[in-house]
Amino acid sequence: NFALPGLIDCHVHFREPGLTHKEDFLTGSMAAAKGGITTILDMPNTIPPTTTLAALEEKRRLAAKSIVNYGFNFGASPGNISDIKKAKNIAAVKLYMDYTTGDMKIDDLEFVADVFKASKITIIHAEDISIQNAIEIIIKNKIKNKLHVAHVSSEKELQYAKQNKIKKQVTVEVTPHHLFMNDKDLQHLGSFAEMKPRLKTENDQKALWLGIQNGIVDAIASDHAPHLKEEKEQANYPFGVPGVETMLPLLLDAFNKNRISLPTIQKLCCENPAGIFKIKNKGIIKEGYDADLVVADLDKRQAVRNEDLLTKCKWSPFEGKILKGWPVMTIVNGNVVFNDGKIFDIKAKEVQYAT
Ligand code: NCD
Ligand code: ZN
Ligand code: ZN
């Protein structure tokens, strides 16, 4: 068995408030704990969206039932710059430059610039040329704040995000679904493999892996975006796939296939997310750091099975895949919350940030 710092998943949608038929902070956090994740950062595309101080406080109250540590991303919405400046203890501001679940797309590029100026770090959902547009806004306005590009999915997006002029200011996140699937998987999975950004070609998938090897990719995050089976079966299905329970098993399986090292998993899933969002006392195993740990059995072989999943949506695009390497015990703030297949409902804490 092998111990890692607990994973810090900087991109999840736990759907509370307003969409709790898909997930809530308890079920989402139980699924995360089972997947070896000890801290999550939640996204603002809930109902109501986390774009006001009142909505942030309400989400804070609801998240208290989480059994993994948690933090919040505040949403950018027209006219809310003063709330962005006043929001307390947030990881980042999330800004949507393209359409996705939640309808929070911003079209006004002046406002985009204002958000970049107002927040020390902005996470963008931007696809393809929108990433280039975001970077041009930063260069043109001589903005010094940081930009984190969520779920980079293609070779081109990676190039836009990591161009020389701005390299040190921009961090790049990739998801397990873009690493372990490509557009060929749409043939058998249909809408169950539809997310934003969509799965790309095998060549793009290779570029993401190359980015990991070259150190261009800064973080891996699940973009856990659960929707019910019934919703996915509709003609007008929503985009997104669940991921907190399968991210670490997929990466450990890749380790067993010599595709990624354990130190790289630790860097991209623990240390770097803590560093990018300045989360205090997390991401490495060291005296004085929080006792957030995951113990993995690197030889354990098991299939991903829908019936085993703790996410409310109860399905995974990786169902049926046999993976070698599974988390077997998860410790949050010194408490065992997952062991030997069982979950222990011990409440966790909101994370703090260095300023
Ligand atoms: C996410 C969701 O469902 O909230 N969907 C997705 O396809 N990734 C939103 C997002 O991250 O874009
Ligand atoms: Zn997104
Ligand atoms: Zn997302």
- Helix, strand, coil percentages for the chain (3-state, nearest 5): 35, 20, 45
Q: Which residues are catalytic?
A: 223
- For residue 16 and ligand 1, the question of a CB distance below 6 A is answered with no
Question: Which atom of ligand 1 sits closest to the CA of residue 196?
Answer: 7
pLDDT tens-place string over residues 8-30 = 999 999 999 999 999 999 999 99
**Which ligand is the nearest neighbour of the Cα of 149?**
2
pLDDT tens digits along 20-66: 999 999 999 999 999 999 999 999 999 999 999 999 999 999 999 99
Does position 160 have pLDDT exceeding 90, yes or no? yes
- Beta bridge partners of residue 123, listed in sequence order: 94, 148
Q: Say if residue 267 is exposed, middle or buried (CB neighbours under 10 Å; 0-12, 13-18, 19+).
A: buried
Once rounded to an integer, what is the mean pLDDT over residues 320-342?
Answer: 98
Q: How confident is the model at residue 73 (pLDDT cuts 50, 70, 90)?
A: very high
- Indicate which atom in ligand 1 lies nearest the CA of residue 102: 4
User: What percentage of the chain has pLDDT greater than the value 70?
Assistant: 100
**Alpha-carbon distance 40 to 70, whole Å?**
5
Mean pLDDT of the 323-333 span = 98
Query: Which pLDDT band, with edges at 50, 70 and 90, does 323 fall under?
Result: very high
Determine the Cα angle at 29 with ends 307 and 93, to 5°. Answer: 130
Give residue 165's pLDDT.
82
User: What confidence category does residue 355 fall into, taking pLDDT thresholds of 50, 70 and 90?
Assistant: confident
CA–CA distance, 10 with 31 (Å, rounded to integer) = 15
Question: Taking the CA atoms of the chain, what radius of gyration do you get in angstroms?
Answer: 19
Beta carbon of 77 within 6 Å of any ligand 1 atom? no
Q: In the predicted model, what is the mean pLDDT of the chain? A: 98
Question: What is the predicted pLDDT for the residue at 112?
Answer: 98
Which of the four pLDDT bands, split at 50, 70 and 90, describes residue 167? confident
- Average pLDDT in the 306-320 region? 98
- Residue 100 Cβ contacting ligand 1 at under 6 Å: yes
CA of 349 to the centre of ligand 1 (A): 25
Q: How confident is the model at residue 176 (pLDDT cuts 50, 70, 90)?
A: very high
Question: Residues 318, 32: contact at Cβ < 8 Å?
Answer: no
Would you place residue 126 in the very low, low, confident or very high pLDDT band (cuts 50, 70, 90)?
very high
Residue 223 has pLDDT above 90, yes or no: yes
Minimal CA–CA distance to 68: which of 305, 340, 232, 290? 290
Confidence of residue 164 (pLDDT cuts 50, 70, 90): confident
- Nearest by Cα to 303 from 284, 316, 289: 316
Q: Alpha-carbon distance 186 to 200, whole Å?
A: 10
Find out whether the beta carbon of 196 lies less than 6 Å from any atom of ligand 1.
yes
Residue 266, pLDDT score: 98
Percent of the chain with pLDDT over 90: 98
State residue 62's pLDDT score: 98
Mean predicted confidence (pLDDT) in 206-234: 98
Q: How much is the average pLDDT of 203-225?
A: 98
Nearest atom (ligand 1) to Cα of 240: 7
- Choosing from 94, 195, 198, 237 the residue with most ligand 1 atoms within 8 A of its CB, the one to mutate for a pocket test is 195
Name the residue of 223, 231, 311, 312 whose CB sits within 8 Å of the most ligand 1 atoms, as the mutation to test its pocket: 223
What is the predicted pLDDT for the residue at 186? Answer: 98
SS3 assignment, position 184: helix
CA distances from 77 to 22, 115, 206, 225, 326 (A): 24, 9, 35, 21, 40
pLDDT the model gives residue 175: 99
- pTM confidence score: 0.98
The mean pLDDT value for 215-238 works out to 98
Q: Which residues surround ligand 3, an ion (CB under 5 A)?
A: 223
